[in-house]
């Protein structure tokens, strides 16, 4: 199994084949993409997006349109099954089998062995995706940007994923204690100090990982966004509940700042029964020429910023983890004019395996073209 976190010679990761059974539009379907750029075109309802989402499932154990697993079942089906074969630049194959049933839920097998928890698989098959609904990363609430940031860091830093899972568990336990104290005002608070200290340490680790990632990631965003936006200068700010963090800060200092904030907010947190400070409430601010994109950019400018972020991840992963990620771009041509479409294709050319869905055929020299037609096995509506 290929684990691309450190120490690998930079190389090429590719999907050799994937089989779909009762997955959205596809009752029974096999797909074998080529190296390089693959253009998948066809009418709405032909299953283009479903192909990309199935690949995303095999790489990251979830779809990229935030749907529940049960929503991916074909009409009236009781299960779906995805079987994919990936190959690294060194020729090492990884067989992924992901299944879901209403009774047993989701199961993952890697090279024939069941894998639990699913988080152990994250980062093994680096994958970048774009879909139009993801515009909420730029225009939507803070939780969307935190999710984008966490997904990105988790694929490139195994320790961060472990730290994030620990933080979420500690947060849940501290919140449970706060709720108990809220319901019983006279209850002993001595345990709260211990949970606050533990959570402060965990919050510092998560925050340090996020800020460190952004410092490494920003140069890639800056270069791409200037090219795609016609010269605009992007910036990314991390706004924490302990203040704006514009550069990496030692974890020991972050821990003390979080602990101080917990102590300052203790009474209010008990009254509300929840933790009011920490990475779960932090904000990522995207700016273009110094103006916040969420508030001041047009929808077209926001789309360009999102595409810059996604392509920057593509380049960052290539540098950081040593394997060129698989790139999945859903309906990206509808989001770009001709000039920007050509610029994106030029960036992707020669940079690994890319799969692009489109309702129309777009000719690009050297690209493999796959035409999907609506058949009895793809009669359900495309998501």
17-60 confidence digits (pLDDT tens): 999 999 998 999 999 999 999 999 888 888 999 999 999 999 99
CA 121 to chain centre: 14
Q: How far apart are CA 158 and CA 122, in angstroms?
A: 8
User: Which residue blocks in the chain are alpha helix, DSSP H?
Assistant: 48-60, 136-139, 142-156, 158-183, 190-229, 251-264, 266-272, 293-296, 299-321, 338-348
**Beta bridge pairs of residue 328:** 129, 355
pLDDT at position 11 is: 55
Count the Cβ atoms, other than its own, within 10 Å of residue 47. Answer: 31
Q: Where in the chain is the domain with CATH 1.20.1050.90?
A: 133-320
Closest CA to 336 of 353, 360, 370, 369: 360
What is the distance between the terminal CA atoms of the chain, rounded to a whole angstrom?
A: 31
State how far the alpha carbon of 117 is from the alpha carbons of 94, 109, 162, 252, 302, in Å. Answer: 18, 11, 12, 30, 35
Residue 96's H or E segment, with its range, is: strand 93-101
pLDDT at position 380 is: 38
pLDDT at position 350 is: 66
pTM to 2 decimal places = 0.86
Q: Which residues contact 93 (CB under 8 A, 6 or more apart)?
A: 16, 85, 86, 87
- pLDDT (tens place) for every residue of the chain, 383 residues total: 333 333 333 456 899 999 999 999 899 999 999 999 999 988 888 899 999 999 999 999 998 766 789 999 999 999 999 999 999 888 889 999 999 999 999 999 999 999 999 988 988 898 999 998 999 999 999 999 999 999 999 988 989 999 999 999 999 999 999 999 999 877 888 899 999 999 999 999 999 999 999 999 999 999 999 988 889 999 999 999 999 998 999 999 999 999 999 999 999 999 999 999 999 999 999 999 999 999 999 988 999 999 999 999 988 988 887 778 899 999 888 777 778 888 888 888 767 899 999 887 766 666 888 888 765 454 433 33
Superfamily of domain 133-320: RecF/RecN/SMC, N-terminal domain (1.20.1050.90)
Q: How far apart are CA 143 and CA 370, in angstroms?
A: 36
State how far the alpha carbon of 52 is from the alpha carbons of 62, 128, 198, 261, 328, in Å. Answer: 11, 11, 40, 43, 6
b (16+ CB within 10 A) / e for 204-242: bbbbbbbbbbbeebeebbbebbebbbeebebbbebebbb
The topology under which CATH files domain 1-126+325-383 is: Rossmann fold (3.40.50)
pLDDT at position 383 is: 36
What pLDDT digit, counting tens, does each position of 306-328 carry? 999 999 998 898 888 777 889 99
Structure tokens at 48: 């283009």
Q: How far apart are CA 262 and CA 277, in angstroms?
A: 7
Q: Is 71 exposed, middle or buried (0-12, 13-18, 19+ CB in 10 A)?
A: exposed
pLDDT at position 305 is: 95
Q: Where in the chain is the domain with CATH 3.40.50.300?
A: 1-126+325-383
pLDDT at position 9 is: 33
Q: How far apart are CA 153 and CA 317, in angstroms?
A: 10
């Amino acid at each position: 199994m290929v684990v691309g976190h450190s120490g690998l010679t930079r190389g090429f990761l590719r999907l050799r084949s994937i089989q779909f059974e009762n997955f959205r539009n596809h009752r029974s379907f096999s797909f074998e993409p080529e190296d390089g750029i693959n253009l998948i075109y066809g009418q709405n309802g032909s299953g283009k997006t479903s192909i990309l989402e199935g690949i995303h499932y095999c790489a990251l154990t979830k779809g990229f349109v935030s749907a529940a697993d049960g929503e991916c079942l074909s009409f009236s089906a009781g299960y779906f099954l995805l079987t994919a074969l990936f190959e690294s630049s060194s020729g090492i194959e990884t067989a992924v089998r992901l299944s879901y049933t209403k009774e047993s839920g989701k199961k993952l097998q890697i090279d024939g062995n069941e894998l639990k928890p699913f988080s152990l698989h994250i980062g093994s098959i680096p994958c970048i995706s774009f879909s139009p609904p993801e515009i909420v990363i730029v225009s939507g609430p803070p939780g969307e940007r935190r999710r984008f940031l966490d997904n990105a860091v988790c694929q490139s830093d195994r320790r961060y994923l472990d730290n994030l899972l620990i933080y979420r568990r500690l947060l849940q336990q501290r919140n449970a204690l706060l709720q108990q104290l809220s319901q019983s005002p006279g209850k002993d608070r001595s345990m709260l100090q211990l949970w606050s200290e533990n959570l402060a340490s965990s919050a510092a680790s998560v925050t340090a990982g996020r800020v460190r990632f952004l410092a490494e990631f920003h140069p890639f965003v800056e270069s791409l966004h200037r090219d795609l936006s016609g010269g605009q200068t992007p910036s990314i700010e991390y706004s924490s509940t302990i203040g704006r963090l514009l550069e990496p800060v030692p974890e020991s200092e972050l821990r003390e700042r979080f602990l101080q904030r917990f102590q300052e907010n203790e009474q209010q947190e008990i009254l509300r029964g929840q933790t009011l400070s920490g990475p779960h409430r932090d904000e990522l601010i995207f700016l273009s020429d110094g103006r916040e994109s969420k508030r001041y950019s047009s929808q077209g400018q926001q789309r360009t910023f999102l595409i810059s972020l996604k392509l920057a991840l593509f380049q960052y992963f290539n540098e950081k983890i040593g394997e060129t990620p698989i790139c999945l771009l859903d309906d990206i041509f509808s989001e770009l004019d001709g000039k920007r479409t050509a610029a994106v294709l030029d960036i992707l050319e020669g940079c690994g395996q890319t799969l692009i869905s489109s309702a129309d055929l777009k000719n690009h020299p050297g690209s493999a073209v796959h035409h999907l037609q609506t058949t009895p096995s793809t009669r359900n509506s495309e998501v």
